[in-house]
Amino acid sequence: MGQFIQFAINGLMSGAIYALIAVGIVSVFKATKVVNFAHGYLIMFGAYFYFTFAVIIPGQEWAPAWLASWQPGWMVEMRQGLNMFSPLGAVLDWAANVPRIIFGLIGAVLCNALLGMLIERSLMRPLMGQSVFAMIMVTVGLISILSGAASLIWTADAAFVPHIAPNTPIRFEVFGTMVFLFGADIVNMIIALLIFGGIVAMVKFTKSGVAIRATAEDQSTAYSMGISVPKIFSRAWILASATGAVAGAILATRNGISPSLGLFGFSVLAIVLMGGLDSYVGCFIAAMSVGVLEAMTQWKLGGEWAEIVPYVAVLVVIIFRPHGLMGQKEVERI
C-alpha cells in the first residue's frame, strides 16, 4: 500500500508537468486550430535557454561572482557545522543558487517567448486563413529545424542545472512503508499547477481570454467583431513558448538536458488528444491519469514500458471516445 502511494504521488508529480506542457499545445490549438507537433522541441529550447542563463553565462569570467554562487557572510556562517545531508544544508545550497536560478528562468522565458513569436510571425502568419493542414505540416518541418539548430548551438555536453527549489528529501511513513519525496519535485508540481490554473483562469475570465475563445469558435466572425485575430495568434504562441520554457527548465532539472526532450512533446501530444484537444479540464484529467498510469507501469512492468503508456492510452481512448475525454464532437452541417 505504501509502495502504491509512493508511485501514485510520483505519478501525480509528473502528471502536473504534463499538464503544464499540455497547456501550451491546447492554447495554440484553441486560438489557431493548429496542433503544434514541434511543441516538445520548443520545450527543449526552453531547457537549453535555462542551461545557458543559469549555467553557461554565470560560469563566464566576465560574469559577477554572486551570479554563479551567492555567498553572503551570514550564509557562510550558518553553513558551518552542518552535516552533509541536513535539510538546512540543502536549503542553503539552494539559496546560493537563487540568483542564477532567477536569471536562468527569466532568460529562458524571454528567449523562448521571442522564439515563439518569431515562429508565428515568419511561418504561421503567412498561412493564416489559408490552410490549417499546411500550418500543421509546417510545425512538422519545425521539428527538424529546431532539433538541428539546438545541436548546432549547444555543442557542449549539458552539465548539471540547478534545481528550482531546495531539494531536501522528505520522508514519512504511510501504512508502515517509507515514502520518499524531494522538495524540488513538490515545488515543481506547485509551480506547474499554479501556471496551469492561472492560464485557465485567464482564458475564462479576462478580456483577451474571451477574445481567444471567440476566435476559437469562428475566426471570421471574431474578425468582424473587431478582434485582431493575428494578435491572438501571436499571443497564443508566446504563451505556449513561455510556459514551455518553464516546463523545459523543470524537466532539465529532473532528467537533464538532451535532444530526447523533444520526443517528450509527443507523449504530451497524445495526452492532449486524449483530453479532447480544446478542453483544459480534459487535458488536466488526461495528464494526471497518464502520469499515474506511467508510474504504475514503472512499478509493475519496469521503466521501459512506461515509455509507451501515453501512446497506448490515447489509442484506447480514441477508439471509445473519438473526440477525447472532454472534447466536443463537431457536427458537420450538410
Partner 1 sequence: MINGNLKADYGADERVLNNRNKQLFVYGSMLLLAIFPFVAGDYAMLMACKMGILLIAVVGVNVLTGYTGLVSLGHGAFVAIGAYATVVFSNLFSGLPEGILPLIVIPLAVIVSALVGIIVGLPSLRVKGLYLAVATLAASFIVTFLIEQDLFAPWTGGVNGINTPTANLLGWELDTKREMYVLITVLALTTLLAAQNLFRTRVGRAFIAIRDRDYSAEILGISLLRYKLMSFAISAAYCGLSGALFAYFYARILPEQFELDLSLELVAALIVGGMGRTMGPVFGVFIVMMVPELIKIAMGAATGGSLELARYTGPVQEIVFGLLLVTFLLKEPLGINQITDRILRSANRWPFARG
* Residues at the interface with partner 1 (CB under 8 A): 35, 37, 123, 126-127, 131, 133-134, 136-138, 140-149, 151-152, 155, 263, 266, 269-270, 273, 277, 304, 307-308, 310-312, 314-315, 318-319, 322-323, 332, 334
In whole angstroms, the minimum distance from the beta carbon of 329 to ligand ATP comes to 11
When CB distances are held under 5 to 8 angstroms depending on the partner's kind, the choice from partner 1, ligand ATP, none that residue 72 binds is none
In whole angstroms, the minimum distance from the beta carbon of 3 to partner 1 comes to 24
Are the beta carbons of 23 and 197 closer than 8 angstroms? no
**Residues of this chain, 188-227, that bind ligand ATP according to CB under 6 A:** none
Closer CB to partner 1, residue 12 or residue 132? 132
When CB distances are held under 5 to 8 angstroms depending on the partner's kind, the choice from partner 1, ligand ATP, none that residue 145 binds is partner 1
When CB distances are held under 5 to 8 angstroms depending on the partner's kind, the choice from ligand ATP, partner 1, none that residue 333 binds is ligand ATP
Are the beta carbons of 49 and 108 closer than 8 angstroms? yes
Per-residue binder mask for ligand ATP (CB under 6 A), 274-313, x = binder? ----------------------------------------
End-to-end CA distance of the chain: 54
Which element (helix H / strand E) includes 236?
helix 229-255
CA angle 176, 180, 184 (to 5 degrees): 155
In whole angstroms, the minimum distance from the beta carbon of 314 to partner 1 comes to 5
In whole angstroms, the minimum distance from the beta carbon of 131 to ligand ATP comes to 24
When CB distances are held under 5 to 8 angstroms depending on the partner's kind, the choice from ligand ATP, partner 1, none that residue 157 binds is none
When CB distances are held under 5 to 8 angstroms depending on the partner's kind, the choice from ligand ATP, partner 1, none that residue 123 binds is partner 1
Closest listed residue to residue 264, CA positions, set 25, 40, 34: 40
In whole angstroms, the minimum distance from the beta carbon of 256 to partner 1 comes to 20
In whole angstroms, the minimum distance from the beta carbon of 332 to ligand ATP comes to 7
When CB distances are held under 5 to 8 angstroms depending on the partner's kind, the choice from ligand ATP, partner 1, none that residue 277 binds is partner 1
How many C-beta atoms surround the C-beta of residue 63 within 10 A? 14
> Alpha carbon of 268 to those of 220, 259, 284: distances in Å?
30, 16, 11
Closest listed residue to residue 43, CA positions, set 295, 277, 254: 254
Hey, what amino acid is at 124? M
Give 125's DSSP letter: G
Closest-approach residue to ligand ATP (CB): 331
The C-alpha cell that represents 160 in the structure block: 548539471
How many residues bind ligand ATP (CB under 6 A)? The answer is 2
Does the footprint of ligand ATP cover residue 330 (CB under 6 A)? Answer: no
Closer CB to ligand ATP, residue 231 or residue 329? 329
In whole angstroms, the minimum distance from the beta carbon of 149 to partner 1 comes to 6
When CB distances are held under 5 to 8 angstroms depending on the partner's kind, the choice from ligand ATP, partner 1, none that residue 162 binds is none
In whole angstroms, the minimum distance from the beta carbon of 167 to partner 1 comes to 31
Looking only at the bridges linking them, the beta strands covering 177-182 and 169-174 are antiparallel
DSSP 50-112: HHIIIIITTTSTTS-HHHH----HHHHHHHTT--TT-HHHHHHHHHHHHHHHHHHHHHHHHHH
Closest listed residue to residue 267, CA positions, set 245, 283, 252: 283
Grouping H, G, I as helix, E, B as strand and the rest as coil, residue 171 is strand
Closest listed residue to residue 111, CA positions, set 38, 165, 51, 171: 51
Binding site for ligand ATP (CB under 6 A): 331, 333
